[in-house]
Amino acid sequence: MNISFDLDSTLIPPGNEFEAEKRNFFIKFLGVEPIRIGTAKVISDLQKQGHTIHIYTTSFRSQIKIRLMLFYYGIKVGKIINQSQNQRTLKNRNINASKYPPAFGFDLHIDDLKGVKMEGERLNFKTIIIKPNDKNWIEIIQKGITFEQ
Ligand SMILES: [Mg+2]
């Protein structure tokens, strides 16, 4: 499956809601953002299972910035869709939603927002919702994917 991940509050902590991977001074200086602990392993496990992983965010971070940040953590993804591209594509397709993963070929989207789940129910796309304080987020993702396959 083509699986997309949201960034903010899903993989990038909004504050101290979840534990992040360690960053040294230099990396912080370069502006590499913290990432949820376990992210690299979850993504590489999913890739080993044959899934293609993408990023789908409504933030305006540039694609290159996101790709470099993920590269630092040893993560390689397929597409990176940011808000500029999201707005353009959804407007062209006349879709009234914050996110619409099928527009980018994503079969399943992982996000922290209930609103995205509701959009999925309305527009018929699959989501897995993990909250920042879900300690068992990895299990929720793995179970969700098994269920949706
Ligand atoms: Mg989010």
Ligand 1 is an ion; its neighbours by CB within 5 Å are 6, 8-9, 112
Measure 97 CA to ligand 1 centroid, in angstroms: 14
pTM attached to this predicted model: 0.95
Q: Is 85 exposed, middle or buried, given 0-12, 13-18 or 19+ CB atoms closer than 10 A?
A: middle
For residue 74, give both structure tokens. 């040893």
Angle (nearest 5°) at CA 64 between 113 and 138: 40
Distance 116 CA to ligand 1 centre (A): 9
Q: For residue 14, how far is its CA from the centre of ligand 1 (angstroms)?
A: 9
Give me ligand 1 centre to Cα 57, in Å: 7
Going by C-alpha positions, the residue among 121, 125, 118 that lies closest to residue 104 is: 125
Phi, psi of 95 (to 5 degrees): -105, 125
User: Residue 125: CA atoms inside 13 Å, Cβ hemisphere, count?
Assistant: 26
User: CB count, 10 Å around CB of 32?
Assistant: 19
What is the tens place of the pLDDT at every residue in 30-51? Answer: 889 999 999 999 999 999 999 9
CA 110 to ligand 1 centroid distance, Å: 9
Q: How far is the CA of 94 from the centre of ligand 1 (A)?
A: 23
Domains for the chain: give ranges and CATH numbers: 2-148 (3.40.50.1000)
**CB within 8 A of 53, min separation 6: which ones?**
3, 4, 5, 43, 46, 47, 77, 78
CA of 8 to the centre of ligand 1 (A): 4
Cβ–Cβ under 8 Å, residues 139 and 43: no
**147 C-alpha to ligand 1 centroid (Å):** 22
What is the DSSP code string of 39-78? HHHHHHHHHHTT-EEEEE-SS---HHHHHHHHHHTT---S
Per-residue pLDDT tens digits for 50-108? 999 999 999 999 999 999 999 999 999 999 999 999 999 999 999 999 999 999 999 99
